[in-house]
């Protein structure tokens, strides 16, 4: 909700921050005393498992919030592209005045939104084939970016793979497979056009 309030606003604990492509916004284990609302660019959150395998837990675009952990960061966040975001101080639970109530309600809403997004992603993980996952990913991204047919995918193949639980090889193969089936077309490797929305959404298993 970046309304009329522009510039740094110390009174409300919101501050506009910028990161360059590839930079880390925060690290796993950091104290989570702020959360972020992206105004420009794209970000990703990820964890590393004991075996070194990277688990990408989410992508975030303009308007999205992330970093809602309760105490410490459970995952790190990185800039996929150059980005700008509001860094927002979390409300102190002890405060009970009007301002706190307002902030609390913002926080709640953001929390709920974050949970819903996580929830949506979980849904994508029940026994699904690579084409189904990729189709779902494309549809979801198209919706979130508000690009109905032409989706610009800001993240690399490795990011997509680590997000969908596939390898870059399978992701790549599946992209070409979807192209050959006439479902989508690719311009370069990041610009995706949905040629047959009905079939793509059917494959994705959503009807939104």
SS (H, E, C) 84-133: EEEEEECCCCCCCCHHHHHHHHHHHHHHHHHHHHHHHHHHCCCCCCHHHH
Which span sits near its own copies by CB under 8 A: 4-12, 15-23, 113-121, 182-190? 113-121
The Cα 133–Cα 204 span in angstroms is: 7
Q: Which of 170, 200, 201, 204 is the binder for DNA (CB under 7 A)?
A: 170
Residue 131 sits in the site that holds DNA (CB under 7 A): yes
Q: Quick one: 6 or 122, whose CB is closer to DNA?
A: 122
Residues in 3-42 at the binding interface with its own copies, rule: CB under 8 A: none
Q: How far is the CB of 35 from its own copies (least distance, A)?
A: 12
Candidates 138, 166, 184, 200: give the one binding DNA (CB under 7 A): 166
Judge contact between 108 and 50, C-beta under 8 A. Answer: no
Binding mask 188-207 for DNA (x = CB under 7 A): -xx-----------------
Residue 157, CA distances (Å) to 9, 10, 29 in order = 37, 39, 27
* Residue 133 token pair: 């996952």
| Residue 168 lies near its own copies (rule: CB under 8 A) | no
């Amino acid at each position: 909700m970046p309304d009329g309030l522009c510039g740094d606003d110390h009174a409300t604990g919101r501050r506009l921050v910028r990161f360059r492509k590839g930079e880390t916004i925060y690290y796993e284990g950091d104290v989570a005393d702020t959360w972020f609302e992206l105004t420009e660019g794209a970000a990703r959150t990820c964890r590393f498992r004991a075996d070194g395998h990277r688990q990408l837990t989410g992508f975030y675009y303009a308007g999205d919030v992330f970093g809602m952990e309760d105490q410490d960061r459970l995952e790190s966040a990185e800039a996929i592209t150059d980005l700008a975001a509001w860094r927002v101080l979390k409300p102190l639970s002890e405060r009970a005045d009007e301002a706190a109530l307002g902030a609390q309600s913002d926080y709640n809403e953001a929390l709920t939104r974050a949970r819903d997004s996580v929830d949506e992603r979980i849904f994508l993980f029940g026994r699904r084939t690579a084409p189904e996952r990729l189709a779902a990913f494309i549809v979801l991204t198209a919706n979130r970016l508000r690009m109905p047919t032409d989706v610009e995918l800001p993240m690399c193949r490795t990011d997509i793979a680590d997000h969908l639980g596939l390898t870059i090889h399978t992701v790549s193969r599946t992209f070409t497979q979807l192209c050959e089936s006439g479902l989508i077309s690719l311009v370069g490797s990041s610009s995706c056009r949905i040629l047959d929305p009905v079939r793509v959404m059917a494959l994705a298993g959503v009807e939104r």
